Amino acid sequence: MPTYRLFITTNELGASTALDILGRAFEDEGHAVATTEIDEDAGIWQASIYFEGDNPEAMSGLVAGHLADALPGLDIESEELPEIDWVSHSLEGLKPVRAGRFIVHGSHDRDAVRIGDIGILIDAAQAFGTGHHGTTAGCLEMLDSVIRAWPAGKGYPSPILDLGTGSGVLAIAAAKLAPAAVLATDIDPIATKVALENMKINQVGNQVRAITAAGFHSAEIARAAPFELIVANILARPLMRMAPEIVNALAPGGSVILSGILAEQRWKVISAFNAQGMAHVRTIWRNGWVTIHLR
């Protein structure tokens, strides 16, 4: 099925407005939305939405309808993208990434792991999470900090839930930090398959289970709950929407690590979890994204 990019050309404010509107309108469909600065001197930006399908004209009409009130009169352009595995292509040649005690590396960079490092081997695949994105790196650093500081007498958190596991990197990291039982879930069966393969490669398959599940709609999640630690690297709006379910699945005194959150969305997410009785502990900032620890 062909992949298309629909885009508008505007200024920085217009691109930001379009990003917010289209992200809210299409988040449940899983379409990627992005902004790009085209010409810094002229202040020209583009806001794009990517989708798979056979009818870009119909999709263009939907996009135009959502943007009509806030950004009237803008032309919506489209282009068909070549059939390339963009995830694998974009990850070729990426260097190892350090976050806390972790180093996330590919097969060709095994020698980058030094004494004292916790190495996680993740090769390019069809799932998000190699440590290069600010959200994944922030979660790795926060995981290291939270588990090391777990209250004396309790040892380490168990069980742990990695919600929206992607490549499985965070579940693998948790299992390497502590002998905990870890449940990793993702809505995408391809991601679940990739995560299982990565868990075997990193030799934590005896600690971690990976399942395909949409949010908390899974009997396996219900059976494994309550969790002493929940990690969710998703997006701000789904996190806010799932705040009651996340807190309901948490053991008394448990912790939550949240990411996939733009810096400007930080207080909205914290407020949603404050309303469920959770308190903010710490925020890590990386490349415009934040990772939040609540307890």
pLDDT in tens, 74-94: 999 999 877 655 445 444 545
The residue behind tokens 């959770």 is: 278
Which DSSP state fits 95?
P
Residue 214 token pair: 């949409």
Judge whether residue 177 has pLDDT over 50: yes
The string of pLDDT tens digits covering residues 237-271 is 899 999 999 999 999 999 999 998 988 899 999 99
Judge whether residue 183 has pLDDT over 70: yes
Per DSSP bridges, beta strands 77-81 and 97-99 are: unpaired
Mean pLDDT within 278-288: 92
Helices (H) and strands (E) in the chain, counts: 10, 14
The string of pLDDT tens digits covering residues 33-42 is 877 778 878 8
Check residue 264 and give its pLDDT.
87
Judged on CB neighbours under 10 Å (0-12, 13-18, 19+), 122 is buried
Residue 73: HSE in the Cβ half-sphere, 13 Å Cα cutoff: 1
Judge whether residue 283 has pLDDT over 60: yes
Mean pLDDT within 150-177: 92
What domains are there in the chain, each with its CATH number?
Answer: 3-83 (3.30.70.100), 125-294 (3.40.50.150)
Q: Which amino acid is at 286?
A: R
Q: What is the largest CA-CA distance in the chain?
A: 63
The string of pLDDT tens digits covering residues 96-126 is 778 888 888 887 778 888 888 899 998 765 4
| Contact (Cβ atoms closer than 8 angstroms) between residue 225 and residue 164 | no
| Contact (Cβ atoms closer than 8 angstroms) between residue 63 and residue 77 | no
Handedness of CA 200, 203, 205, 210 (dihedral sign): negative
CA distance 289 to 283: 10
What does pTM read for this prediction?
A: 0.70
Beta bridge partners of 289: 262, 286
